[in-house]
């Protein structure tokens, strides 16, 4: 079956611009997670959705970052006024329910110039 | 702050060698430990989810053990092959996954 997909696979933008990153989870998975991996680090948690609601957004670094999942399926991570430090691989994962195996997409590589 | 440590940071072995690496994590309030394999330009692939002290799991030539009382897990690869070259990540589950930095394995033919 289809796995988690993420678009775009690569995104280059200029400092100060707005970007949107999209995640299509595995069909039927109610839990959706966003992580960010910076160079030399392991992935770091950003936000977790259970259905349409953000159950835990404690990992979002500041108010420039926002994520939605309006119909409980596709999610969009939005970054306003991008900064060079936002450059990273943004990973999305989904699972059937909380605590079960998380299946990851291939990531979006964001470069802010 | 919860810390997950992995060692070594990188490992170079010859084809056919067996190898192992370590993941250490907080031993209190344990829920689960996840292992992933991440090849360049691909999605991280789930290997194991380990929940019970003393758990041993196996998938082909790869196996893992878990000690929740002392807070460590070992990942073993028997007879490494070039296609095993990847970064191996462990992650402690505490509502979300808290990852280590990974062990980067390179297997030379």
Tell me the pLDDT tens digit for each residue of B74-86. 999 999 999 999 9
Interface size A-B, in CB pairs within 8 Å, comes to: 53
The predicted structure's pLDDT at residue B1: 65
> Which candidate from A44, A45, A101 shows the least CB-CB separation from B46?
A101
pLDDT band at residue A4 using 50, 70 and 90 as cut-offs: very high
8 Å CB contact of A101 and B102: no
pLDDT of B17 reads 97
Cβ within 8 Å of B, A 73-102: 91, 99-102
Q: Sheet of A75-79: strands edge to edge?
A: A5-7, A19-24, A75-79, A65-68
Band (pLDDT 50/70/90 cuts) for residue A1 is low
Q: Is 90 exceeded by the pLDDT of residue B98?
A: yes
* Percent of chain A surpassing pLDDT 70: 99
Considering only CA atoms, which of A3, A47, A64, A37 is closest in space to residue B40? Answer: A37
Question: What's the pLDDT at A5?
Answer: 96
Tell me which chain A residues have a C-beta less than 8 angstroms from the C-beta of B100. 42
Distance CA B64, CA A21 (A): 34
For residue A97, the model assigns a pLDDT of 87
**How far from the centroid of its chain's Cα atoms is residue B95's Cα?**
19
Token pair for B109:
């033919």
DSSP-derived secondary structure letter, B78: S
Looking at the complex, does the CB of residue A41 fall below 8 Å from at least one CB of chain B? yes
Q: If you average pLDDT over residues A7-13, what whole number do you get?
A: 97
Query: What's the confidence (pLDDT) of residue B27?
Result: 86
Q: Do B101 and A102 touch (CB under 8 A)?
A: no
Chain A positions touching B31 (Cβ under 8 A) are 99
State whether residue A44 sits within 8 Å of chain B by CB. Answer: yes
Tokens describing residue A71: 């119909």
pLDDT-based confidence at B90, cuts 50/70/90? very high
- A54: CB partners within 8 A, 6+ apart: A47, A48, A67, A69
Q: Which residue of B has its CA nearest to A32?
A: B96
Instruction: Kindly compute the dihedral angle of the four CA atoms of residues B46, A99, A69, A14, in this order, to the nearest 10 degrees.
Output: -50
pLDDT per residue as tens digits for the range A63-112:
999 999 999 999 999 999 999 999 999 999 999 988 889 999 999 999 99
pLDDT of residue B94: 83
pLDDT value at residue A99: 80
Q: Express each pLDDT in B30-74 by its tens digit.
A: 889 999 999 988 999 999 999 999 999 999 999 999 999 999 999
- Positive or negative: CA dihedral B53, A47, A96, A10: negative
The string of DSSP letters for A57-89 reads -TT--STTEEEE-TTSS-EEEEE-S--GGG-EE
Q: What span, in angstroms and rounded, lies between the C-alpha atoms of B88 and B95?
A: 21
Average pLDDT over residues A25-41: 95
**Average pLDDT value over all residues in chain B:** 94
Question: B11 with B21: CB under 8 angstroms?
Answer: yes
- Given a contact cutoff of 8 angstroms between Cβ atoms, the answer to whether A80 and A15 are in contact is no
Of the two residues B41 and A45, the one the predictor is more confident about is A45
Nearest-CA distance A77 → chain B (Å) = 17
């Amino acid at each position: 079956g289809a796995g988690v997909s993420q678009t775009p696979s690569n995104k280059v933008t200029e400092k100060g611009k707005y970007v949107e990153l999209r995640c299509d989870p595995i069909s039927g998975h109610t839990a959706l997670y966003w992580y960010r991996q910076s160079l030399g680090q392991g992935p770091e948690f950003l936000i977790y959705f259970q259905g349409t609601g953000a159950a835990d957004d404690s990992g979002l670094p500041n108010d420039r970052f926002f994520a939605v999942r309006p119909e409980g399926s596709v999610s969009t991570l939005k970054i306003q006024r991008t900064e060079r430090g936002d450059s990273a691989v943004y990973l999305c994962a989904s699972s059937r329910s909380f605590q079960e195996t998380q299946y990851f997409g291939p990531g979006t590589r964001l470069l802010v110039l | 702050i919860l810390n997950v440590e992995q060692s070594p940071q990188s490992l170079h072995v010859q084809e056919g060698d067996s190898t192992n690496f370590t993941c250490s994590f907080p031993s209190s309030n344990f829920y689960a430990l996840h292992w992933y394999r991440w090849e360049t330009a691909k999605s991280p692939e789930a290997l194991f989810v380990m929940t019970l002290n003393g758990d041993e799991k196996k998938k082909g030539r790869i196996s893992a053990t878990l000690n929740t009382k002392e807070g460590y897990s070992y990942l073993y690869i028997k007879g490494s092959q070039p296609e095993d070259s990847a970064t191996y990540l462990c992650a402690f589950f505490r509502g979300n996954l808290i990852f280590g930095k990974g062990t980067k394995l390179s297997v030379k033919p």
